[in-house]
Amino acid sequence: MSDRKDTGARDTRQRIVTASTELFRRRGYTGTGMKQIAEAAGAPFGSIYHFFPGGKEQLGEEVIRTSGAAYLGLIAALMEPHEDRAAATRDAFTAAAGTLSELDFADPCPIATVALEVAGTNDRLRQATSQVFDSWIDGLAAYYAAGGIPEPAARETAGSVIALLEGAFMLGRAARSTAPVLAAGRAAAAIVRAALGGA
């Protein structure tokens, strides 16, 4: 009986995090209310505070960190099968453009959505988004270093690629077009190719 109760509690908590992730991505952190989260999660309103006694801020941090880890895994899954680091980078942007289109040009990245909102108003969430972006840059830098780009160039290259991707998402959403993401992919691939040539 206890195992079933524990499983039910874990399921409820996960539904709350999943619903929050989707709502933050589409409506932003400040544009999402706790009642909306409870309704989307199919969970009693009080259960949010049971799992997240720190309220929306604690829930927001959980969303940032869990989404960040999931996106890092996605980046690895897209790029690791490729030996050619530049081609892998371009292909990852092509996949990102497809995702943006499938989402009808809603922001595919809840981390960036929250980061833009809270950078000047909530230091706890700002730090969480900064740490997530750093983890992505670290992961991508390790991938580029394994392909022959020495440090610190590998980390600088990774930072440029992440910046291009996040900026391209913003431009693509504004234009309702995948063209900025595809163009950024070509630019990112050129940066990686140049770094490999410099090695």
Please spell the DSSP secondary structure of 98-161, one letter per residue: HHHHHTTT--S-HHHHHHHHHTTT-HHHHHHHHHHHHHHHHHHHHHHHHTTPPTTHHHHHHHHH
| pLDDT value of position 27 | 86
- Is residue 114 predicted with pLDDT exceeding 80? yes
Structural domains of the chain, with CATH:
60-198 (1.10.357.10)
State the pLDDT confidence band at 117, using cuts at 50, 70 and 90.
confident
| CA–CA separation, 64 and 67 (whole Å) | 5
| CA–CA separation, 56 and 89 (whole Å) | 35
| pLDDT value of position 115 | 87
| pLDDT value of position 109 | 79
Run of H or E including 178 = none
CA–CA distance from 136 to each of 10, 68, 69, 160 (Å)?
27, 8, 9, 12
- Is residue 90 predicted with pLDDT exceeding 70? yes
| pLDDT value of position 199 | 59
| CA–CA separation, 89 and 16 (whole Å) | 33
Any idea which of 53-57, 82-86, 136-140, 156-160 has the lowest mean pLDDT? 82-86
- In tens, the pLDDT along 159-173 reads 999 999 999 999 999
| pLDDT value of position 182 | 98
Q: Which long-range contacts (CB under 8 A, 24 or more apart) does 42-46 make?
A: 42/15, 43/12, 43/15, 43/16
| pLDDT value of position 40 | 96
* Tokens found for residue 162: 């992440």
- Is residue 95 predicted with pLDDT exceeding 70? yes
- Whether 164 contacts 184, CB under 8 Å: yes
- Helices 2-27 & 55-79 angle (0-180, nearest 10): 80
**pTM: predicted TM-score of the whole model, two decimal places:** 0.85
- In tens, the pLDDT along 51-81 reads 999 999 999 999 999 999 988 887 778 777 7
